[in-house]
């Protein structure tokens, strides 16, 4: 499937329209790279009526990427999105109750398989796993929001909603 992104002009009907166009492009790339293929190895032993158990897990992952804080948001956010469903190879998204029942039906063995599949997915695409460990890997854990130094490249004071960094004896300003 080829995906073409563009701007809509008033009065012109298009084949598909979705407010999740960036997510659609991301998921199309993920499908091309087979990023979610480790999910297909799960043996969940659940019945398939309209969606396979693995397909339901895939839809849960999509709901997370679509910023659904709760599965109940799937009905109002993702179900109306026919264009996004098409990109994902679905006729439509499953109802939240179907997804919830599938998650409730996971056994401890399924959860361990899911954990292994997740680990396999992030390790395969992790830049840290491809890092040349003969050199340093720099991690910044400074949560103060202050610049790291006057000469630091791109250094600016960060924004933290409602949180103020107090000036104390350690702060140079």
Task: Give dist(CA 114, CA 57) in Å, integer.
Answer: 9
- Dmax (CA) for the chain in angstroms is 65
**Structural domain total, the chain:** 1
| pLDDT tens sequence for the chain (173 residues) | 566 655 554 444 555 667 888 898 889 888 888 888 888 888 877 777 888 888 899 999 999 999 999 999 999 999 999 888 888 888 899 999 999 999 998 899 999 999 999 899 888 878 778 878 788 877 766 666 666 666 766 666 665 555 555 655 555 55
Quote the domain boundaries for residue 46.
21-126
142 inside domain: no
Query: Which pair of tokens denotes residue 44?
Result: 């969940």
Q: Would you state the structure tokens that stand for residue 110, as one six-digit string?
A: 């399924």
34, part of any domain: yes
Cα three-residue angle 80-10-92, rounded to 5 degrees: 15
**Is 128:83 a contact under the CB 8 Å cutoff?**
no
- 170 is a domain residue: no
């Amino acid at each position: 499937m080829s995906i073409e992104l563009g701007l809509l002009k008033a009065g012109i009907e298009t084949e598909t329209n979705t407010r999740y166009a960036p997510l659609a492009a991301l998921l199309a790339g993920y499908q091309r790279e087979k990023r979610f293929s480790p999910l297909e190895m799960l043996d969940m032993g659940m019945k398939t009526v309209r969606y396979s158990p693995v397909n339901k897990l895939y839809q849960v992952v999509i709901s997370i990427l679509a910023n659904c804080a709760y599965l109940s948001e799937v009905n109002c956010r993702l179900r109306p999105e026919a264009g996004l469903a098409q990109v994902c190879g679905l006729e439509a998204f499953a109802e939240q109750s179907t997804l919830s029942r599938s998650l409730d039906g996971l056994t401890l063995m399924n959860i361990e398989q899911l954990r292994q599949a997740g680990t396999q997915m992030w390790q395969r695409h992790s830049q840290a796993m491809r890092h040349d460990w003969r050199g340093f890997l720099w991690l910044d854990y400074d949560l103060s929001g202050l610049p790291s130094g006057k000469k630091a490249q791109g250094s600016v004071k960060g924004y933290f909603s409602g949180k103020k960094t107090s000036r104390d004896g350690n702060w140079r300003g």
